[in-house]
Structure 1
Amino acid sequence: MKNGDRLSGKIKVFDGGKLMLETEYGGSIPLDWKKIATLESDQELMIKQDDVTGERAKTLRPAEPGKVILANGEAPKTVELASIEQIMKPKPFVEDLTWSGNVDLALDYKRAEKDTDDYDVDFKTKARHGRWRHNATGEYNREFQDDVKTTENWELEYALDRFITDKFFWQGRAEYKRDKIEELERQRTLGTGPGYQFWDDELGAFSLASLVNRTDYEYSNGEKDNFYALSMKWDYNRYLVGKTVEFFTVGEVGRPLGNAADYSLDAEVGLRYKVTDWASLNLKAEKDMVQGAEGEIDETRYTVGFGVGW
């Protein structure tokens, strides 16, 4: 550090002017990049001096204040700390089993002219092994007004990705939705199609998948409907301010084949603020729209809650 202190730990990531240092004595510590004099590390790290290109450094060696030496097996290279925009651990394409996910919980109790109890629980998890990636999500919503149930629905989805290259993958997925209040009671979807992973690193991930789906609807009046549809799914998250804040959005927009009037949208956008390495506060907005021959759904939900991640 510029004040003469020397801090030891494992470099997790540098972004947004903050270097995250994992220490045994204080957990993850965000350090102001402007206060750092130089670095020394035996980790292999990706050093990015712009938004596109990056250079792998097998080790970092200390240099005069304001500089660092990148050693990658060739001639060592000295660069200005001010020129570095990001530092992160290189992520291998084929890797051993990795598992990550989060569970978010939101509760709202209001006692006024109308008493309202609102519960929202959802989870998202991913497991990667070699060229296979497993994705699972689930959500449960329930709301009472003056002890009368006004909302109760849940949904589950499982998707399996097979990576053909480090970017292109093929996805198969199954989804089930159940609503005990709305006109559209049940939705079942099976789909498959290609996808593209734009990036997946320490600072976040972004992927798109284009699917051909078979969807079955069941309505509260006993009517049934089924159709084939095309849809586009997205999954985006980005860590900010040294991985203390996460912006995320996931969703899917679809349209039946041969029926120009129907469409569906299921989207979520939000922020998470990390209180500790595993706990976070979250703020989310969710939009669920279905326009069908026998009924429709148009719901928007805003939740603030607490979550855990791994």
Structure 2
Amino acid sequence: MLPQALLCLALAGASAPLLADTVWLKNGDRLTGKIKVFDGGKLVLATDYGGNIILDWKKVATLESDQQLLVKQDEYHGERAKALHKAEPGKVILANGETPKTVELASIEQIMKPKPLVEDFNWKGNIDLAMDYKRADTDTDDYDVDFKTKARHGRWRHNAEGEYNREVQDDEVTTDNWSAEYALDRFLDEHWFWQGRLAYKRDQVEDLVRQRSVGTGPGYQFWDDELGAFSVAALVNRSDYEFADGREENFYALGAKWDYNRYLIGKSVELFSNGEVGKPLSGVADYALDAEAGLRYKVTDWASLNIKAEKEMVSGAESDLDETRYSVGFGVGW
């Protein structure tokens, strides 16, 4: 009898469903899946029947999870819960050993999977690649590699981006440049931050061969959640221009930066735009613009197709610059 009992127990265990998180809604519906993140009033539940489902936090009655999750009741401090247990509507129980804690859902700012070393570390980014080969009266090879990433921990946010462009027409290089930028944000409260940034661009073809910029100034984060983000910053920059004939121009400028992205259609489509416009305080140029805008379509959770337009302009200088590029390519994101 004992072997038969053990066999029945093993079969029952094998046929039991895998543990899943459960969300109860105020209208009586119950959804199962895996809680990925809660931020900006939106709860993302990963399911095998509908992909990622985005729920309005105000519609959630209670929830439970067998995951270890970091629950934050303000912007900067969190409590690691070994599990979440169902409670009366409007509340949830944080299971922490012998002393479970019941909290109001309305008091929770974020829920995320804790990281091994830095609990509230959040890192995201993407790399886009575009290539174009044309064989006709004019043979053209065009390459464009773009990366952008952000990492957030507490009051600090790190921003890094870079780009490489190269175009060859009939064995003549018509575009060859690369750029890199790093910015560090220190948040003063939920929305306001102070930014310091470094930027560099090298061009092998244009008269303006080097651009260096160091800037600092205040910024404002309108929103930053699972459905997108939008921030602006006003900077005072020290810029250095170096031209192909050896001339140099050094000046201070006022700049305005923006960074926008928005997910649509269940996060399968992303609209994005970022850039900077600057006005020199001296008469070396009228203004400078460096911006891009585009769209990404997610093919999988990590792969996407993208189309974008880029504009770089320096107007009013001795050697004006005016470039517009359009590209279609493939990217990966995290």
Higher helix share: 2
Looking at structure 1, the residues matched to 86 and 141 of structure 2 have their Cα atoms a distance apart, in angstroms, of 54
SS of the counterpart of 2:32? coil
Contact 1:170–1:195 at 8 Å: present in 2 too? yes
Correspondent of 2:323 among 274, 299, 302: 299
Q: What is the alpha-carbon distance in structure 1 between the residues aligned to residue 274 and residue 85 of structure 2?
A: 37
Structure 2: runs of 5 or more not aligned: 1-29, 70-83, 93-107, 112-117
TM-score using structure 1 length = 0.76
Contact 2:62 2:89 in 1 (8 A): no
CA drift at 1:10: 2.5
Equivalents in 1 of 2:248, 2:227: separation in Å? 44
User: 1-side partners of 2:33 and 2:110: how far apart?
Assistant: 20
CA gap 1:70/1:238 in 2 versus in 1, 3 angstroms: farther
Pairs aligned (count):
263
State the one-letter code of the partner of 2:91: N
Preserved contact between residue 160 and residue 172 of structure 1 (Cα < 8 Å)? yes
**Which of 285, 303, 306 is residue 309 of structure 2 equivalent to?**
285
In the alignment, which residue of structure 2 is the partner of 1:71?
90
2:239 corresponds in structure 1 to 215
- Larger radius of gyration, structure 1 or 2? 2
Change (3 A) 1:197 1:234: same
Deviation at 1:259, TM superposition (A): 2.6
In the alignment, the residues of structure 2 paired with residue 32 and residue 256 of structure 1 have an alpha-carbon distance, to the nearest angstrom, of 44
* Cα distance in 2 between the residues matched to 1:256 and 1:60: 59
Distance 2:54 2:234 in 1: 41
Q: Which amino acid aligns with 1:229?
A: A
Give the equivalent residue in structure 1 for 2:34: 10
- Residues 179-258 of structure 1 aligned to structure 2 (within 5 Å): 179-258=203-282
CA contact (8 A) 1:280 1:306 kept: yes
SS at match of 1:190: strand
Equivalent position SS for 1:197: strand
Please say if residues 44 and 54 of structure 2, whose CA atoms lie closer than 8 Å, have aligned partners that are also in contact: no
The structure-2 alpha-carbon separation of the partners of 1:71 and 1:261, relative to structure 1 and needing over 3 Å to count, comes to same
Instruction: Compute the displacement of 1:147 (Å).
Output: 1.3
Aligned position for 1:91:
110
Structure 1 residues without counterparts, runs of 5 or longer: 1-5, 45-57, 62-68, 74-88
Change (3 A) 1:188 1:260: closer
The structure-2 alpha-carbon separation of the partners of 1:297 and 1:121, relative to structure 1 and needing over 3 Å to count, comes to: same
- Which residue in the other structure is 2:13 paired with? none
CA offset digits 1:231-287 (Å, max 9, x no partner): 000000010011110000000000001338521000000011111110000010000
**How far is 1:30 from its partner?**
5.4
1:167 to 191, 197, 201: 191
Q: What is the CA-CA distance between 1:184 and the residue it aligns to?
A: 0.4
Residues in 2 aligned to 1:31 and 1:194: alpha-carbon distance in whole angstroms: 35
By relative contact order (CA 8 Å, sep 6+), the higher-ranking structure is: 1
- Supply the distance in 2 between the matched residues of 1:154 and 1:305 (Cα, whole angstroms): 18
Distance in 2 (CA, whole Å) between partners of 1:228 and 1:131 is 29
Q: Counterpart of 2:33 in structure 1: which amino acid?
A: G
Report the equivalent of 2:147.
123
Residue 271 in structure 1 maps to residue 260 in structure 2: no
So what's the TM-score if we normalise by structure 2? 0.71
SS in 2 for 1:8: strand
